[in-house]
Chains A and B, each alone.
Chain A
Amino acid sequence: MRAYLPDYDLVAPAGIDELLRLIAREPGEWRPIAGGTDLMVLLEADRLPFRRLVSLSRITELRGITASDTYITMGGLTTYSDIQNNEILQREFPLLVKAAGWTGAVATQNRGTLAGNIANGSPAADSPPALLVYDAEIGLLSERDVTWREYCEFHTGYKTNCMEPDEIIAHISLPRNTDGCVQYLRKVGTRKAQAIAKVAFAGLAKLRDGVIERIRIALGSVAPMPIRCHQTESVLLGSHIDPATIAQAKDAIASEIAPISDIRSTAEYRTRVTMNLLDEFLRGLAA
């Protein structure tokens, strides 16, 4: 059943000030739309709950990827294709580049934006586990100010987040500190290509003399939102990787996820696969 189009309003401000003024005047009334790869699917199914939409597509201030010595910052309109084409991201943040290549195919990657993916908040999205292990920071812009939030605090539940109704995601920043880190990303789906994750696992670690001195682990599709596995990380931090540590970490990760059984998989399978992926990541670190 297709939506009744006269019910929907869409405006396209030409500049950032006009956009922010509009959403500040009627907070929560206007839903931002960027590439449309999520919202237009809902429209076609007559399940789009937002009646008034504001297009970000003309806001040039939200385009582009910039880098300083310490951070790389992606504008809110950065697409999956932009991510794959950026040399710094390819070199220093390969997990994000890989995840961008998993998100739909070329036509979706040309239109879909990382900020839209974050705002949509699907627990099964491909990019969030990578963003979590990279300690991403989210720049939320409103007419009032810019507020920076740690991405690991951004999602608050199933498709809910910490944004105020007058804010947009203007920037996604990654600290450039991955030098010397082992990086791991694996998605388990029904098949290799064009599938939504049953489990997605991202890991990043740095060892010194066989001891884990830095570790980040994040998962998709095993909780109401993408999650960082803080308890598992604390088991591993400062440890040597031996069979006892691996077993302890696997118990920890099984206890801090909250998978469900749904059309794509079962809770039991997701738990087992999560433990197996952690095992593979840690054995790879030890090798």
Chain B
Amino acid sequence: MRKVPIDFRVNGVQRSVDAYPMERLLDVLRENLGLTGTKEGCGEGECGACSVLLDGQLVNSCLVPALQAAGSDIHTIEGLAGKKLHPLQEAFAETGGAQCGICTPGMILAAYQLLERHPRPTDEQIREGLAGNLCRCTGYQKIFDAVRQASEAISGET
């Protein structure tokens, strides 16, 4: 099987790549498009390091065949900041929610989806929303702090 042309939008920009149909979206993002913010952890859908938003839905990009992403709208960590950092990125930096950084892009995108669904999440909702994202540095408490801080910032309260 040869590579085929696959078109999609990434962070608001129309892109076209040549990829094997069963190539992982993760590899297409990192290797074809140079978007190395998306990390590979386990490569089997357990750790969440490769999380991206595919048509607004959080997915593990290591489990998405490239052809299934054709025509879709993809958002990676590189697309989250505008002229300034997104409140989640600021909060992760300020609270120490990011340490080694491998889980951070996926963790922030999972937190982004969580705050879309639950703008003022309970601890239980944070736990559920981030259950698929593993972190070996922080012990998670500082990540929880970051999500709460971002939630308050986005909701306009301090």
B residues with CB within 8 A of A: 1-2, 20-24, 43-46, 48, 51, 57-60, 62-65, 67-68, 70, 110, 113-114, 127-133
Contacts and interface: CB of A to CB of B under 8 A. Distances in A.
Contacts, number: 100
12 contacts: A3-B22, A5-B20, A10-B65, A12-B70, A35-B63, A41-B45, A44-B43, A44-B44, A53-B65, A55-B68, A106-B114, A110-B57
A118 interface: no
B44 A10 contact: no
Contacts of A104: 45, 132
A107 B48 contact: yes
B43 A8 contact: no
* CB-CB nearest 5 A-B residue pairs: A105-B132, A10-B21, A5-B20, A105-B131, A40-B63
Contacts of B43: 44
Contact of B20 (A8, A40, A44): A8
Contacts of A193: 127, 131
Given A10-B65, A33-B68, A104-B45, 20 more contacts: A5-B1, A5-B23, A6-B1, A8-B1, A8-B22, A9-B21, A10-B67, A36-B65, A40-B45, A40-B62, A40-B64, A40-B65, A44-B44, A53-B22, A55-B68, A106-B128, A108-B45, A111-B63, A193-B131, A194-B132
B110 A107 contact: yes
A55 B62 contact: no
Contacts of B1: 5-10
Interface of A: 3, 5-12, 33, 35-37, 40-41, 43-45, 53, 55, 57, 81, 101, 104-108, 110-111, 193-194
B64 A36 contact: yes
B24 A6 contact: no
B45 A106 contact: no
